[in-house]
A and B are shown apart, each in its own frame.
Chain A
Amino acid sequence: MRLIAEDLACERSGRVVFRDLSFAVEAGEALAVVGPNGAGKSTLLRLVAGLLKPSAGTLTIAVEDSDADADAAVAERVHYLGHKDALKPALTPVEILEFWSAWLGDAPKGASPRAALERVGLLHTADLPSAYLSAGQRKRLSLARLLVAPRPVWLLDEPTNALDVASQETLRGLCADHAGSGGLIMIATHAETGIPTRSLALGGRA
């Protein structure tokens, strides 16, 4: 599996964020998207997730012919982990993960909600309304979403924000496992995460 972007351009309300951006991410690879504030890192990830439409260029996923759902859209193969944590304060972590598992994953079964919570070290909060979680715990709960519905492409926008040292180690482990099983990862980051194998620099002011 291979994620290919050709001559991507993006405009937000008339202002060009980036243009002529081409790159490819191979299976088992992690690509770090780096650049100063406002360079368009988050925009690029949202574009790949299908939440924004490119003003020019194409974005495709090349898969082996044997793949069953070869013509699924790119957006249906990605996990997007943005700045907002997409958690409902009234629901418990288990309820939230059960929902995302049903909504995002249709083909292969992912980890059970409790197994995913254990992986990110939140099993003790499984039945607590998520309003009581701290910022770091919320981030870890968002990460658990990636585990309950397996999807090949992970788009992580500043995933280390609010995470303590141990949780950053967990994140590294999750990413290594994902890449090891043939997944693709794109990380927008400022910090040294220790995950990526390659980096894509977005220019500041073009």
Chain B
Amino acid sequence: MKAFLALFRRDLRIAARIGGGGGTGLVFFLILVTIVPFAIGPDLNLLSRIGPAILWIAATLATLIGLDRLFQADEEDGSLDILMTGTMPLPLLVLAKGLAHWAATGLPLALFAPVLGLLLALEPAAMGAVFVTLLVGTPALTFIGAVGAALTASLRRGGLVLAVLVLPLMIPILIFGVSAAAAALGGTVPFKTPFLMLCGLSLAAVAIGSLGAALALDSAGE
């Protein structure tokens, strides 16, 4: 447990310092959401209808930025070798790194989404729904991405391969995230139905993603 927290804290600290790249995804998210109203035009009804989807698409793409560095940074400087000689089982190593990565990149997206919702003329209920769905859904995006990050850890410029590998697996999260956020605005489906699916997918993604990424890291030694 001590080792787990130590790794979590170390990764958060690196992300927060200069050159850590913690803010890159967030800035990309801000840019993407900011330019959408300019492209769509001042049709407030249209904006508020597609707002949750725009926020979710932007969050998904923003998650991809920086994911390639999740294990690659440790692989390049040799830290990964030393991490692997620790007593901590590999899936827990992935879990600690993934959670730190999420706290540095995914969590800020969820926190900023309601503010950006103002630009998209979202109603307060929709802002809340987007915040909650992103809060629950971004860990899934991070951990699905972790498997791809582990597979491409030793590839230079592995970001493209990573995106091609993991983006299809992120689609279900996107679908249930957006439908839950849209359901909060009223409609035939209650908010709870897609939201519980999203929660389930997210929990499964964290568990399976940790195991899958651990397998990928382990097989790199063969």
Interface, chain A (partner B; CB < 8 A): 46, 49-53, 72, 75-76, 78-80, 82-91, 95, 98-100, 102-104, 106, 129, 145
Which of chain A's residues have a CB closer than 8 A to the CB of B6? 98-99, 102-103
Q: Which of A76, A85, A88 contacts B14 (CB under 8 A)?
A: A88
Given contacts A51-B221, A99-B7, A104-B86, contact A91 B14 (CB under 8 A): yes
Contact B85 A90 (CB under 8 A): no
Once the chains are docked, how many angstroms separate the CA of A129 from the CA of B20? Answer: 13
Would you call B82 an interface residue if the criterion is a C-beta within 8 Å of the partner chain's C-beta atoms? Answer: yes
Q: Mark B42-85, 1 if CB is under 8 A from A, else 0.
A: 00000000000000000000000000000000001111011111
Given contacts A50-B84, A80-B82, contact A102 B2 (CB under 8 A): yes
Which of chain A's residues have a CB closer than 8 A to the CB of B156? none
Number of interface residues of B (CB under 8 A): 27
Contact A49 B85 (CB under 8 A): yes
Given contacts A84-B77, A89-B19, contact A102 B3 (CB under 8 A): yes
Could you tell me which residues of chain B, from 1 to 21, have a CB within 8 Å of some CB in chain A? 2-3, 5-7, 9-10, 13-14, 17-20
Q: Which residue of A lies closest to B78 (CB)?
A: A84
Contact B10 A86 (CB under 8 A): no
Once the chains are docked, how many angstroms separate the CA of A142 from the CA of B90? Answer: 23
Contact B78 A86 (CB under 8 A): yes
Contact B83 A103 (CB under 8 A): yes
Would you call B87 an interface residue if the criterion is a C-beta within 8 Å of the partner chain's C-beta atoms? Answer: yes
- Chain A interface helix/strand/loop/mixed: loop
Contact A103 B78 (CB under 8 A): no
Which of chain B's residues have a CB closer than 8 A to the CB of A91? 10, 13-14, 17
- The CB with the most chain A CB atoms within 10 A, among B14, B20, B86, is that of B86
Which of chain A's residues have a CB closer than 8 A to the CB of B85? 49-51, 75-76, 78-80, 104
Once the chains are docked, how many angstroms separate the CA of A85 from the CA of B77? Answer: 6
Once the chains are docked, how many angstroms separate the CA of A153 from the CA of B94? Answer: 26
Q: Which of B3, B17, B84 contacts A90 (CB under 8 A)?
A: B17
Once the chains are docked, how many angstroms separate the CA of A49 from the CA of B13? Answer: 28
Which of chain B's residues have a CB closer than 8 A to the CB of A98? 6
Q: Which of A82, A99, A129 contacts B81 (CB under 8 A)?
A: A82
Which of chain B's residues have a CB closer than 8 A to the CB of A80? 81-82, 85
Would you call B118 an interface residue if the criterion is a C-beta within 8 Å of the partner chain's C-beta atoms? Answer: no
Given contacts A102-B3, A103-B7, A106-B87, contact A86 B17 (CB under 8 A): no
- Chain B interface helix/strand/loop/mixed: helix
Interface, chain B (partner A; CB < 8 A): 2-3, 5-7, 9-10, 13-14, 17-20, 76-79, 81-88, 221-222
Contact A86 B82 (CB under 8 A): yes
Once the chains are docked, how many angstroms separate the CA of A49 from the CA of B86? Answer: 11
Which of chain A's residues have a CB closer than 8 A to the CB of B87? 72, 76, 104, 106
Contact A90 B86 (CB under 8 A): no
A and B contact pairs by CB, cutoff 8 A, 12 listed: A51-B84, A52-B221, A75-B84, A80-B82, A80-B85, A84-B81, A86-B77, A87-B77, A88-B14, A100-B82, A106-B3, A145-B82
Q: Which residue of B lies closest to A55 (CB)?
A: B222
- The CB with the most chain A CB atoms within 10 A, among B3, B20, B82, is that of B82
Q: Which residue of A lies closest to B93 (CB)?
A: A103
Q: Which residue of B lies closest to A72 (CB)?
A: B87
Once the chains are docked, how many angstroms separate the CA of A100 from the CA of B78? Answer: 13
- The CB with the most chain B CB atoms within 10 A, among A46, A98, A100, is that of A100
Measured CB to CB, the closest approach of chain A to B181, in angstroms, equals: 36
Which of chain A's residues have a CB closer than 8 A to the CB of B13? 90-91, 95
